[in-house]
Chains A and B, each alone.
Chain A
Amino acid sequence: MTDFSRRDFLKLSAAAVGALTLSGAGEFGETKAGAAPNYWWQRETATKSSYCDMCYWHCGIKVEVADGRVAKIYGDEEDPLSQGNLCPRGQAGVRQLYNPDRLKQPLINVGERGEGDYRKATWSEALDYAAEELSKVSEEWNGPESIAWLNHCTSGSWFSHIAAAWGSPNNGGPAHSLCLGSREIASQLTFGLPVGEHMPVDWENTKFITLIGNHIGENTHNTLMKDFMGAVDGGAGLAVVDPRYSTPASKSDYWLPIKPGTDTALLLSWINLLIRENRYDRNYVEKYSTGFEELKNRVQDYTPEWAAEVTDLEQRKIKEVGREMARYRPHAVVPPNRKASWYGNDTQRLRALFILNALLGNYGREGGFYFNSEPWVEDYSFPSMKLENTGGGCGGGGGALGEDTLPEDVRERADNKGEKFLYGSLSEPELIEAMASEDPYPIKGLVVSGNNIFHSAPKKERTKEALKNLEFYMAMDILPQEHVMWADVVLPESTYLERYNDLFIGHHKSTPFISFREPAVDPLYNTKPGWWIAKELGERLGLGEYFPFDDFEEYLNERLGPLGLSVEEMKEKGIVKQPQLSQPYLEDFESQNQDPPFGTPSGKIELYSERLEENGLDPVPTYDDPEEPPDGFFRLLYGRSPVHSFSRTQNNSWLSEVDPENEVWINSKATEKMGLEEGEYVVLENQDGKKSRPIKVKKTERIRDDCVYMVHGFGHDTPEMERQDGKGASDIEMQSDYELDPISGSVGMNVNYVRVAEKGGSS
């Protein structure tokens, strides 16, 4: 449990123990260790209600405060998401609050952008300056469209609120284009409904699960992990398709170590098998879907025999898994994953996945996918906004299939939607490209909150060029992350344990609920809540009417009032569930003589998409081979550590202690060929000559020999944060290329390749 080994001790201390035995303990009295500890739970504590902000699952939590300090965070038993349990990250919120490296006061840049030369400022000084500079950009560059807003934190929705009120359509974050956008678009194209934040898979009733590149357990989204393991423990069969033997693979009945980038071929072959062997749910398909004959014709060549060649999988296994799905349907499910953007063909890959589910007859059926109930809280009534608020966190990342309906005096989005891709909300990398190239028009102002654009977006060098091309850049954050220390004005936000936030409106298993967040302790240092910062900035920009509340309790009471609730009551309750009003399955709609809720133009599940066809795209997914890695290179795959959230927790002392740096997973035989040892450091180089920081080798049988893998979020360059600075390597550094999905505007980053360039170095 420590670096001190028993053997070392034996060498050093045998004499001392011997002496002890001879002369008795009394002699050692003076060396007695001292008083017993006074633990937090031996003191008086107060319990506060909140919801977690260490990731976007937003589990309900209870916070124990002893002597004015947060000592412990645990899951709220009433919360449908946490059910009283919390992942490591959620518990380590304590160490985000007490991280000594936090941003402590507003800063104004006095040097060149990127050099990190700052002076301290008061809040009014920083906000006056920011408002003045943003107004200047808007005036000189033809309006507020020249300012982009990239948010990825709970309070960031208030900055998106400013963008919408002021009139910038360049308002979004990483959630859509770098994460789940293609999944949401594919689901809307197929079922006319988004998947939504908390994936509505009916885990407790399913009997056979097939995961494709889906890393539940490595992603510690609490309820997902709980429900998935509950299903497996309850006896559901599990097939895992992944080039790497992931955590869920270790729980599987079938591991299919697929050749990276060939997933669509496998999905199409399962569709082919279900149709050819007449194992699909014919009644369901006839009743609820359109386009089956076209689908049947178009997939007839995608046989399992063909797929075995393409995917480098055993034909027998492909068939067996396909037949198992059919055997258990509709209690068989192929859940989509959350980090959906891989190769730039992602919407079509996920269309294939949803079509497969439809053939299993599981959408809106027990053991497949259930329908979520509508949110039940009225929006706060703001004065009419110039634009719809499209920003925010993952909740704002779904993206719609419709045209953007902008007023005539507002310029189109600068991410070239319409030209380069068809649907969805903002494509962050494409907006950054526009910032650098000034095509279609110059973006000269940028506001970023909670979104480390040097770690989330690929093509980091281009991001730097984009930032250098700005006239004004403001960042709000908790920690001095890389992107923050490029800003002209740095605004330190209070952590989620020190502030109010909006209500969190969630669903789980069709039960809608709201969670409440109150400050557990007063803000440390000279930090402020995000809502306050946005309100002060908005008022200085002449947008005060869009912040018509004096304090946040007033805002919350206005929203809670119609529900017969108040801030005071929510402080007691923390979570309020709506009585069960749900219609989780299709049969619930039928029993109430309602149409099925498919929001497609046909009102049915669209196996064949006329909308895609009208736009010159494949109406049924087709298969194209992925580009092969150059000679001597491996495809670079990346993923998550269960104890880290993106690139934002590597400086958290509890989390970095259990997972301080990442490793590059290389197939054992490949390491032997290269003469690499377990644990030695290497420098990776990508196809464009970009080199990584030194990273440890994990020599493993758990990965194919045509790809390597690393956990995302490490390899920070933050001298202000020693605990994370230079630990491990960043996958983003190696992602100098991406493939844009022409449907959703998502960017696939699994199109980068690395080789081991040199040995040596250290972390």
Chain B
Amino acid sequence: MTRYALAVDLKKCVGCKACVVACKAENEVPDGVFRLTTYEVEKGSFPEVDTELRHDQCRHCETAPCVSVCPTKASYTDDEGLVRIDYSKCIGCKACMVACPYDARFINPEGGYADKCTYCIHRVKEGKEPACVNTCPTGARVFGDLDNPDSEIRKSMRNNRVSAPKEEAGTNPKFYYLNKELEEVRA
């Protein structure tokens, strides 16, 4: 089996948004919508203050509510464990958007279908990293196969503290933060 996953090392991330723009370019994401965004959280009070980055995108959950809720089976889980959308089957009903605990989906304003991150599977199949991982100047983004113990992601998960955002949603996301220090402050 192959189970692709992505991790962001928050110790290394400087919030430069190179990943955000790489995603827009690679996937021709229309103006006004994003498959990937980042934002900063702030904690404490002067001078005992701290900040940390957060990344929002599809987590390719193993128990994906967007898949089970889809009335036309446009949303599905593929052989690599990725949550995919068959755009030709999508009717734009937005049920998946409601179901997603990560707010990762949007309606593509040009196509009218639900859209989101694919972990750049078209690149991965050519042996390349997802565009966001490829461009990251500080190497904060790590991608790979969870079922391969020698993959970069497995290595980085062994060597760093690992957490998954909103784990309590129970969807078994395949997206992790490494070295997260601060609790969420944003709803």
In the bound assembly, the distance between CA atoms of A16 and B98 in angstroms comes to: 13
Q: Known: A91-B21, A668-B46. Is A217-B15 also a contact (CB below 8 A)?
A: yes
Residues of B within 8 A of A704 (CB): 46
- Interchain CB contact (< 8 A) of B25 among A9, A94, A218: A94
Flag the segment in B34-42, B75-83, B143-151, B168-176 that touches A: B34-42
Q: Known: A34-B111, A217-B14, A702-B42. Is A13-B94 also a contact (CB below 8 A)?
A: yes
Residues of B within 8 A of A226 (CB): 137-139
By secondary structure, the A interface counts as mixed
Q: Does A370 contact B (CB under 8 A)?
A: no
B80-131 at interface with A (beta carbon < 8 Å): 86-95, 97-98, 100, 103-108, 110-113, 116, 122-123, 131
Q: Does A653 contact B (CB under 8 A)?
A: yes
Q: Does A382 contact B (CB under 8 A)?
A: no
Q: Does A589 contact B (CB under 8 A)?
A: no
Q: Does B33 contact A (CB under 8 A)?
A: yes
A649-667 Cβ-contact flags toward B at 8 Å (1 or 0): 0000111011100000001
Q: Does B162 contact A (CB under 8 A)?
A: no
Flag the segment in A80-88, A189-197, A488-496, A591-599 that touches B: A80-88
Residues of B within 8 A of A92 (CB): 21, 25
Q: Does A327 contact B (CB under 8 A)?
A: no
B72 touches A25 (CB 8 A): yes
Residues of A within 8 A of B92 (CB): 31, 33
A1-31 Cβ-contact flags toward B at 8 Å (1 or 0): 1101110011001001100110011001101
- Interchain CB contact (< 8 A) of A642 among B17, B31, B44: B17
Taking the nearest CB of chain A, how far is it from the CB of B37, in angstroms? Answer: 6
Q: Does B54 contact A (CB under 8 A)?
A: no
Flag the segment in A35-43, A268-276, A509-517, A534-542 that touches B: A35-43
In the bound assembly, the distance between CA atoms of A152 and B78 in angstroms comes to: 51
Q: Does A245 contact B (CB under 8 A)?
A: yes
Nearest residue, chain B, Cβ from A73? B25
Q: Does B68 contact A (CB under 8 A)?
A: no
A702 touches B18 (CB 8 A): no
By CB atoms of chain A within 10 A, which of B14, B26, B31 has the most? B14
Q: Known: A1-B105, A72-B26, A85-B136. Is A658-B93 also a contact (CB below 8 A)?
A: no
Residues of A within 8 A of B14 (CB): 216-218, 225, 229, 247, 251, 642
A84 touches B134 (CB 8 A): yes
Residues of B within 8 A of A255 (CB): 47
A233 touches B135 (CB 8 A): no
Residues of B within 8 A of A34 (CB): 87, 111-113
Q: Known: A75-B135, A220-B16. Is A88-B21 also a contact (CB below 8 A)?
A: yes
B98 touches A9 (CB 8 A): yes
In the bound assembly, the distance between CA atoms of A37 and B86 in angstroms comes to: 11
Q: Does A392 contact B (CB under 8 A)?
A: no
Taking the nearest CB of chain B, how far is it from the CB of A391, in angstroms? Answer: 30
B17 touches A701 (CB 8 A): no
Residues of B within 8 A of A25 (CB): 71-72, 91
Nearest residue, chain B, Cβ from A31? B91
In the bound assembly, the distance between CA atoms of A222 and B135 in angstroms comes to: 11
Q: Does A643 contact B (CB under 8 A)?
A: yes
What is the size, in residues, of chain A's interface with B at 8 Å between Cβ atoms? 73
Nearest residue, chain B, Cβ from A10? B98
B112 touches A643 (CB 8 A): no
In the bound assembly, the distance between CA atoms of A87 and B31 in angstroms comes to: 19
A28 touches B71 (CB 8 A): yes
Residues of A within 8 A of B2 (CB): none
Q: Does B28 contact A (CB under 8 A)?
A: yes
Residues of A within 8 A of B123 (CB): 41
A4 touches B106 (CB 8 A): yes
What is the size, in residues, of chain B's interface with A at 8 Å between Cβ atoms? 68
Residues of B within 8 A of A220 (CB): 16, 18, 137
In the bound assembly, the distance between CA atoms of A34 and B115 in angstroms comes to: 13
Nearest residue, chain A, Cβ from B85? A36
Nearest residue, chain B, Cβ from A225? B137
A21 touches B71 (CB 8 A): yes
In the bound assembly, the distance between CA atoms of A18 and B149 in angstroms comes to: 44
B42 touches A33 (CB 8 A): no
Q: Does A406 contact B (CB under 8 A)?
A: no
Q: Does A424 contact B (CB under 8 A)?
A: no
Nearest residue, chain B, Cβ from A89? B21
Q: Does B50 contact A (CB under 8 A)?
A: yes
Residues of A within 8 A of B17 (CB): 88, 642-643, 658-659
Q: Does A673 contact B (CB under 8 A)?
A: no
Taking the nearest CB of chain A, how far is it from the CB of B32, in angstroms? Answer: 7
A211-261 at interface with B (beta carbon < 8 Å): 216-218, 220, 222, 225-226, 229-230, 232-233, 245, 247, 250-251, 255, 257
A35 touches B88 (CB 8 A): yes
Q: Does B7 contact A (CB under 8 A)?
A: no
Q: Does A32 contact B (CB under 8 A)?
A: yes
Q: Known: A6-B97, A34-B112. Is A91-B25 also a contact (CB below 8 A)?
A: yes
Residues of A within 8 A of B46 (CB): 257, 667-669, 701-705
Q: Does A71 contact B (CB under 8 A)?
A: yes
A1 touches B104 (CB 8 A): yes
Nearest residue, chain A, Cβ from B122? A41
A654 touches B24 (CB 8 A): yes
A702 touches B49 (CB 8 A): yes
Q: Does B56 contact A (CB under 8 A)?
A: yes
Nearest residue, chain B, Cβ from A16? B93
A668 touches B137 (CB 8 A): no
B45 touches A701 (CB 8 A): yes
A247 touches B15 (CB 8 A): yes
Q: Does A583 contact B (CB under 8 A)?
A: no
Q: Known: A1-B56, A6-B103, A28-B72. Is A88-B16 also a contact (CB below 8 A)?
A: yes
B137 touches A87 (CB 8 A): yes
Taking the nearest CB of chain B, how far is it from the CB of A65, in angstroms? Answer: 13
In the bound assembly, the distance between CA atoms of A20 and B71 in angstroms comes to: 7
B106 touches A233 (CB 8 A): no
In the bound assembly, the distance between CA atoms of A41 and B139 in angstroms comes to: 24
B62-77 Cβ-contact flags toward A at 8 Å (1 or 0): 0000000001100000
In the bound assembly, the distance between CA atoms of A354 and B126 in angstroms comes to: 49
Residues of A within 8 A of B25 (CB): 71-73, 91-92, 94, 654
B93 touches A17 (CB 8 A): yes
Residues of A within 8 A of B98 (CB): 6, 9-10, 13, 17
Taking the nearest CB of chain A, how far is it from the CB of B83, in angstroms? Answer: 15
Q: Does B22 contact A (CB under 8 A)?
A: yes
Residues of A within 8 A of B107 (CB): 2, 4
A32 touches B16 (CB 8 A): no
In the bound assembly, the distance between CA atoms of A431 and B33 in angstroms comes to: 45
A681-725 at interface with B (beta carbon < 8 Å): 700-705
Residues of A within 8 A of B22 (CB): 74, 86, 91
Q: Does B52 contact A (CB under 8 A)?
A: yes
B11 touches A233 (CB 8 A): yes
By CB atoms of chain A within 10 A, which of B12, B103, B138 has the most? B138
Taking the nearest CB of chain B, how far is it from the CB of A89, in angstroms? Answer: 8
Q: Known: A33-B112, A701-B46. Is A1-B135 also a contact (CB below 8 A)?
A: no
In the bound assembly, the distance between CA atoms of A9 and B114 in angstroms comes to: 14
In the bound assembly, the distance between CA atoms of A230 and B87 in angstroms comes to: 40
Q: Known: A72-B25, A654-B25. Is A668-B50 also a contact (CB below 8 A)?
A: no
Q: Does B163 contact A (CB under 8 A)?
A: no
A9-B94, A225-B14 given; name 13 further pairs at CB < 8 Å: A13-B98, A20-B95, A25-B72, A32-B91, A91-B135, A92-B25, A230-B138, A233-B9, A642-B14, A668-B45, A700-B42, A701-B46, A704-B46
- Listed A/B pairs (6) with beta-carbon separation below 8 Å: A2-B106, A25-B72, A74-B131, A85-B136, A225-B138, A669-B46
Residues of A whose CB lies within 8 Å of any CB of B are: 1-2, 4-6, 9-10, 13, 16-17, 20-21, 24-25, 28-29, 31-37, 39-41, 71-75, 84-88, 91-92, 94, 216-218, 220, 222, 225-226, 229-230, 232-233, 245, 247, 250-251, 255, 257, 642-643, 653-655, 657-659, 667-669, 700-705
Q: What are the 9 tightest A-B residue pairs by CB atom distance, in nearest-first order?
A: A217-B14, A33-B113, A33-B112, A642-B16, A229-B138, A88-B21, A36-B87, A2-B106, A28-B91
